[in-house]
Structure 1
Amino acid sequence: MKELLGTGVALVTPFNEDKSVDFEGLERLVNFQIENGINYLVVLGTTGEPATLTAEEKEQVKNTIIKVNNGRLPLVLGIGGNNTAAVVNEVQTTDLSAFTAILSVSPYYNKPSQEGIYQHFKAIAEASSKPIIIYNVPGRTGKNIEATTVIRLANDFKNIVAVKEAAGDIVQAMRLIQHKPKDFMVISGDDMIALPMVLAGGAGVISVIGQGLPKDFSEMIQQGLSGNVNEAYKLHYKVMDSIDYIFEEGNPAGIKALLSKINICSLNVRLPLVKASDLLQQKINKYIDIY
């Protein structure tokens, strides 16, 4: 899965002032990634606010990205949930021809046991014609996928090819890298520790800040993958404050504030999320002005 090596970005869904989807902003966003060194795009991940999009809007967002991308970068589609049967049905009934892989989040709210998590991803793996990236984000789901469970899944199902590891736990990430099958990919889901994970043997990142600062962030990851530690860390410290800022009031409010500053799209989000405060927007604007 060399297509998933490097920097992927979890695209936002831009909204107009009336909270309708801003398809022109989405087109600008996709082209901005492609023109600035991003390696692949994640469609309808958490950052894209799929929880507040209608089924029709999801199709429109998906089709817009496919059309604008025009085969230039690999695409990954977010398909996940806490109803295993519903996720399996979506995997089986969705046209996945334009996508390299599926990103599937661990079941949220239900808080299943490790065996329940294993059986959930087993069912998805058996249903999917495409490779699967497990998404571990316990801060959102309420339940960590332990390294032993990920490794068990990786060994048992050849189409489970990677994990997006967003527990924020570098030790857990290192245990995954230590024990993973040879071709299995450990992808950072945490922008702040993406470089340390890469230097420890990770395969890259699925990033949020990457879509706002794509050139430097993707170059940082490439330098890390090449073992150029000093060059990579120079870029890490250059972008580091921006990572704090974009998560200060939650995701994607922060990254949309940054994208607003650089004229990609507005800072609008949909309830129950609210847009970035004036104070945060000022911090981000100042940061970009001197960047």
Structure 2
Amino acid sequence: MVANYEEVKSRLRGSMAPVITPFTKNHDVDYEKLAELIEFQIDNGSHAISVTGTSGEPSSLSVEEREKVMETAVKTVNGRVPVAPGTGSTNHAETMRLTKSAEEMGADAALVIVPYYNKPNQEALFKHFKTVADSVEIPVIIYNIPGRTAQNLQVSTLARLNDACPNIIGVKESNKDFEHVNRVLLNCGRDFLLFSGIELLCYPMLAIGGTGSISATANVLPSKVAELHDAWFDGDVERAQELHYDLMPLNDVLFKDTNPAPVKSALGMMGKIEPELRLPMDVPSKDLQQEIYETLKQYNIKAQYA
């Protein structure tokens, strides 16, 4: 059980890498490779680890597989950095189960997405998140990604949840509406954790008081994503700006198809995984794979592409 949310909040900062879920050629979850990817993240400076978020293809996993991925992450990290797995689903009961499982496994927080496809209204969203948060003592970070969920969690609803639930400590905003993002901190307080889920807004969100980012690009180049945050928090604004623009070509190419397909292609070229996805997801086009390869070479990343 977590008693001191301020202590947890002080640790959940910087680059939280949303690690992909690797599959074998037979499309089984490759838990050994998952552990290796997590070690790669920690070795390259990532400040926290998340799994089974958007980059982790949760809708392609069974509930049991999601629990085993979360358990693998918590055990592999072993307290070295915070772990905040994605526990949300379009199904309320599944979300309750997965969030409770994360708590029991010893995760530091749970990342709970706005339910996708069914488009609940704001009052329903309030009830959903409040019920989930009230069922556990683990800190909860809400995940707002209207481009995927077809529903935007309004700032007024988020502020209500912040007031009603002491363990709702922050939000991941994959929201291109920067006015909305600014109003999150205005209405929820400057100590509310604000993570960027839009790669080109990772640096701008830090400038308005954000906590960090949960960026798919960290799968491929974790050291530079982490360095951007380190530079900002160290007061080296010029270096943070430089890294922001330096990362832009990689950010762009990794989102020319639906995440995480390009990320998995990149990691496959780097020799870290089999670049497999489960249908209905599939690999990027040959032209995009070639572009990914050429972009990796620009960053001096060792890669092979036949």
* TM bucket, shorter chain: over 0.9
Cα pair 1:259 1:267 within 8 Å, conserved: yes
Cα pair 2:196 2:205 within 8 Å, conserved: yes
Residue 261 (structure 1) shift: 2.1
- Give the structure 2 partner of residue 134 of structure 1: 142
Q: 59, 79, 85: which one pairs with 1:77? A: 85
Cα pair 2:67 2:98 within 8 Å, conserved: no
Instruction: Provide the rounded CA distance (Å) in 1 between the counterparts of 2:176 and 2:140.
Output: 21
Identity of aligned residues (%): 37
Residue 95 (structure 1) shift: 5.1
What TM-score results when the alignment is normalised by the length of structure 2?
A: 0.90
- Give the structure 1 partner of residue 206 of structure 2: 198
Give CA deviations for 1:147-183 in whole Å, capped at 9, x if unaligned.
1211221122110000001112211111112222243
Question: How well do the aligned residues superpose, as a CA RMSD in angstroms?
Answer: 1.6
**SS of the residue 2:16 aligns to:** strand
Question: Aligned pair 1:32/2:40, yes or no?
Answer: yes
Give matches, 1:1-291, under 5 Å: 1-92=9-100, 96-291=104-299
Cα pair 2:197 2:214 within 8 Å, conserved: yes
Instruction: Provide the rounded CA distance (Å) in 2 between the counterparts of 1:57 and 1:158.
Output: 30
Give CA deviations for 1:207-251 in whole Å, capped at 9, x if unaligned.
110121100111112222334222111111111111111111111
Query: Could you say if the C-alpha distance between residues 227 and 94 of structure 1 is closer, same or farther in structure 2, counting changes exceeding 3 Å?
Result: closer
Residue 140 (structure 1) shift: 0.7
Instruction: Provide the rounded CA distance (Å) in 1 between the counterparts of 2:177 and 2:102.
Output: 33
**SS of the residue 2:254 aligns to:** helix
Cα pair 1:96 1:130 within 8 Å, conserved: no
Provide structure 2 residue ranges, at least 5 long, that are not aligned to the other structure.
Answer: 1-8, 300-306
Query: Could you say if the C-alpha distance between residues 85 and 268 of structure 1 is closer, same or farther in structure 2, counting changes exceeding 3 Å?
Result: closer
Q: Which amino acid aligns with 2:200?
A: M
Q: Which amino acid aligns with 1:259?
A: L
Residue 89 (structure 1) shift: 4.0
Matched residues, number? 291
Instruction: Provide the rounded CA distance (Å) in 2 between the counterparts of 1:197 and 1:157.
Output: 24
Instruction: Provide the rounded CA distance (Å) in 2 between the counterparts of 1:25 and 1:85.
Output: 30
Provide structure 1 residue ranges, at least 5 long, that are not aligned to the other structure.
Answer: none
Instruction: Provide the rounded CA distance (Å) in 2 between the counterparts of 1:205 and 1:41.
Output: 11
Instruction: Provide the rounded CA distance (Å) in 1 between the counterparts of 2:21 and 2:211.
Output: 26
What TM-score results when the alignment is normalised by the length of structure 1?
A: 0.94
Give CA deviations for 1:81-118 in whole Å, capped at 9, x if unaligned.
23334422443455534200011001212211111111
Residue 133 (structure 1) shift: 0.3
